[in-house]
Amino acid sequence: MRPTPRERSRSPEHAAVLDGAMRDLGARIRALRVARRKTLQQVAEATGLSPSMLSMVERGQANPSIGSLMAIAGALGVSMARLFGDGSRSAMPVVRAAEQMVMTTRRGVRRRLLIRDDDTSIEVAENTYAPGTASADSPIRHLGREMGVLLEGALAVEVGGERYLLGVGDAVVFDSTRPHRFVNVGGRTARTLWINVHGTRWVP
């Protein structure tokens, strides 16, 4: 009998691959931070994450959420795709599904980067959240502005201390410097189409 995806996710082989990926991710984050002459404390203040958590991420000892990676990338002035590689793509106007970067940083939460336009610093992504999962353990913040629409399921959007429940077709827009996170509050997978406009705007 072939193992199920859940059984494969618990196998020693899968764990070794995941550990290696987390170490590589952490090393790239640390290299980017050092190259920009930023301390862990400075990144922590810009993101809302703790220095100890950031240190664990850099050492490959933590599996950060999608939201945490977005915040870290913003603090370092790069796209989140850059944390997983060079983030470059061809000049072709069409981005084939097979070429789109898929980032899964914790069980049940996935971000498919559909388009990254460096000329405008805009990213378009499809985000999915399994029941009971969230974009981050606690609200995070980063530079830029974002907007999106819920395509399937039910989603709670926490922005600036307020909580808004979204139904299918509901949309939201806000400044990313406001602490925020997204929580699947339904019994099925929630799917969103999301746009991040990265920039240098910052509100203390």
Residues found in the chain: 204
Q: What's the pTM value of the predicted model, to 2 decimals?
A: 0.75
At 2 the pLDDT is 45
At 115 the pLDDT is 92
**2-6, 47-51, 93-97, 111-115: which range is least confident on average?**
2-6
Of the two residues 81 and 28, the one the predictor is more confident about is 28
Identify which of 56, 89, 57, 88 has the alpha carbon closest to the alpha carbon of residue 70: 57
Stretch 57-82: mean pLDDT = 88
3 pLDDT above the threshold of 70 = no
Give 144-183 pLDDT, tens digit per residue: 899 999 999 999 999 999 999 999 999 999 999 999 999 9
Identify which of 166, 163, 195, 193 has the alpha carbon closest to the alpha carbon of residue 178: 163
Query: Please, what is the end-to-end C-alpha distance for the chain in angstroms?
Result: 56
At 87 the pLDDT is 54
Q: Which domains does the chain have, with CATH numbers?
A: 5-83 (1.10.260.40), 97-197 (2.60.120.10)
At 204 the pLDDT is 35
At 188 the pLDDT is 96
Categorize the per-residue pLDDT at 105 as very low, low, confident or very high, splitting at 50, 70 and 90.
confident
The beta strands (E) that lie in the chain are given as 101-106, 109-117, 122-129, 145-152, 155-159, 162-166, 171-175, 180-184, 190-197
At 165 the pLDDT is 98
